[in-house]
Chain A
Amino acid sequence: RKEVEQDPGPFNVPEGATVAFNCTYSNSASQSFFWYRQDCRKEPKLLMSVYSSGNEDGRFTAQLNRASQYISLLIRDSKLSDSATYLCAVNNGIKAAGNKLTFGGGTRVLVKP
């Protein structure tokens, strides 16, 4: 089993619709969780950190379910510009100065008119 797994998609989403997808992780000691957005042939860009209580940033909502060991990302009112690959990242749970992250393979989202 991979440490961090994502449905690769693609999720084909009509413009204006809502889309949600999950990321499962295997290390129960993981402490910090992130969603990154990556456009084709570009670097990952931090979308949001995922807090234990869940958090929202505009049209984006992230949730953490520690019991089932997954995080989720929900995008409301999808825009064409939301088309991208969404990577989740999970730290390794080891208390160290460097925060080692393991990335999922990404979920591709295509928003269509």
Chain B
Amino acid sequence: DAMVIQNPRYQVTQFGKPVTLSCSQTLNHNVMYWYQQKSSQAPKLLFHYYDKDFNNEADTPDNFQSRRPNTSFCFLDIRSPGLGDAAMYLCATSRKASRGSYNEQFFGPGTRLTVL
């Protein structure tokens, strides 16, 4: 089945220790997104890639970086995690926009990050 996969599902890191979260997709979608979701809050878009074009949100901290080496994979790097970065990190994909397309986004299962 075509899907969005995230690894690991749970990640524990220490304050300030870099961490990388991964996302892969078999949907062959052009667009990949990274969201941060804290408890009882809306998913918050950090950035997205349209193919290789990187689009950062204005309020995404510099501490968060991303890489997309190919269509299937996208990584979220947190350079120096703080206690406030503990959250669920969700990867999503969608087809590129086109006339008549609603561009639904499909989410992976998420990585729950704990910062000690």
Contact = CB atoms under 8 A, between A and B. Distances in A.
A103 B50 contact: no
Interface stretch (B68-76, B77-85, B104-112): B104-112
Interface in B46-105: 48-51, 53, 55, 88, 90, 94, 96-97, 102-105
Contact of B42 (A32, A46, A105): A105
B58 to A, nearest CB: 12
A98 B109 contact: no
A45 B106 CA distance: 7
Question: Number of contact residues on A: which range applies?
Answer: 20 to 34
B31 interface: yes
B55 A105 contact: no
A41 interface: yes
B90 A42 contact: no
Please provide the 8 A-B residue pairs with the shortest distance between their CB atoms, ordered closest to farther: A99-B103, A103-B42, A43-B107, A97-B50, A98-B50, A97-B96, A49-B102, A98-B31
